[in-house]
Amino acid sequence: AIVGAAGVHTTLAAAKRGSTILLANKESLVIAGDLVNAVVAQNNARILPVDSEHSSLYRLLSPAAGSAQPNAEWRRVRRAYLTASGGPLLHVHGEAFYNASKALVLKHPTWVMGQKITVDSAGLTNKALEIIEAHYLFRLPYEKIQAVIHPQSYVHALLEASDGTVTQHVSHPDMRYPIAFAMYHPEDPKVCVTDRPPASYPAFEFMPVDEAKFRSYALGRRAGIQGKYFPAVYNAANEAAVAAFLDDNIRFGEISELIEAALAAKYDEWDITSLDGLISYDNAARALVQFAHRQEQRADH
């Protein structure tokens, strides 16, 4: 559950021990997905996702399986959807979106979370990170993983079968569900939340992601598809840009601009099959973002 790139070392250490890992640190797979999966396989470790979307997708894809491994049934999946609430800026557009205040960005309509992930949610950056995580968790190609905006946050994942039918996994927006599922797995979790009848649920809405507005999301999807060091650069640039935003050094809209600059930059060639090499790309991207926003501050003054 360590936030950000700092969690990768712990995930790898647990995998080398052959442990069952209850993973809430999506950055472990975003930065080093191939490496983590290789170490997990070599040591007979196992990853159980704790993020609500991935926990739901795990249940939909493999309700009785002991590990998240692809099988014949999964190949019949036409598309897997991770839901996004749309965050506090869902109905904010244009200049108001670009210049959104920190107070507004941190006012999530559904979830109570830490500041960093709340900023990520406002720009849908977290959904791009989750798509990359899902790619490595479930070995699904990127064209089969999409995001859909669902403001009520009751549906956490959807699975479209080859015949066009769609299965949804539904629960109240409460993290006790996925945490208990992972902690008690493979046994049924103990009752951890008061029973709530479906008649108490709100009406469900779904809408597509506007990739022109949520530019960080589009950049993250592209970084995942490009593979190699790009997901590590994407994550590092975002962490550095979000830190600058939270420190009141940049505007909200500049987060995606700094991420785009980091993804377009040229770097020294480091070994992407090693954690040291991937961390080198991570450090370089952070340095680039920090330098860029300092230069902009000087220009403003």
Geometric angle at alpha carbon 108, from 120 and 55, rounded to 5°: 65
* Residue 59: closest CA among 190, 200, 185, 174: 185
End-to-end CA, the chain: 39
Query: Residue 112 — very low, low, confident or very high, per pLDDT cuts 50/70/90?
Result: confident
User: What are the tokens at 233?
Assistant: 């650069």
Task: Give the model's pLDDT for residue 194.
Answer: 80
Task: Give the model's pLDDT for residue 162.
Answer: 87
User: What are the tokens at 265?
Assistant: 């930059």
Q: At what angle do helices 215-226 and 230-246 cross, to 10 degrees?
A: 150
Rounded to an integer, what distance in angstroms lies between the CA atom of residue 32 and that of residue 6? 12
* Residue 51: closest CA among 141, 111, 108, 106: 111
The dihedral of CA 252, 256, 261, 262: what is its sign? positive
Task: Give the model's pLDDT for residue 292.
Answer: 81
| 245-266 average pLDDT score | 96
Instruction: Check whether 38 has a pLDDT greater than 50.
Output: yes
Strands in the chain per DSSP E: 20-23, 46-49, 77-84, 145-149, 155-161, 166-170
Query: Residue 192 — very low, low, confident or very high, per pLDDT cuts 50/70/90?
Result: confident
Residues near 156 by beta carbon (within 8 Å), at least 6 away in sequence: 52, 53, 55, 56, 57, 82, 83, 169, 170, 171
Rounded to an integer, what distance in angstroms lies between the CA atom of residue 76 and that of residue 90? 33
Looking at this protein, which amino acid is placed at residue 192? C
| 74-99 average pLDDT score | 92
Task: Give the model's pLDDT for residue 65.
Answer: 42
Confidence (pTM): 0.92
| 121-145 average pLDDT score | 95
Digit-coded pLDDT (tens) for 202-254: 999 999 999 999 999 999 999 999 999 999 999 999 999 999 999 999 999 99
- Give, as one character, the DSSP assignment of residue 99: T
Are the CB atoms for 262 and 31 separated by under 8 Å? no
Query: Residue 30 — very low, low, confident or very high, per pLDDT cuts 50/70/90?
Result: very high
Task: Give the model's pLDDT for residue 66.
Answer: 39
Q: Of 51-60, 66-75, 143-152, 190-199, which gets the smallest average pLDDT?
A: 66-75
* Residue 27: closest CA among 120, 105, 147, 106: 120
Whole-number percent of the chain with pLDDT over 70: 92
Digit-coded pLDDT (tens) for 56-83: 999 998 754 434 454 555 667 899 999 9
Whole-number percent of the chain with pLDDT over 90: 80
Query: Residue 297 — very low, low, confident or very high, per pLDDT cuts 50/70/90?
Result: low
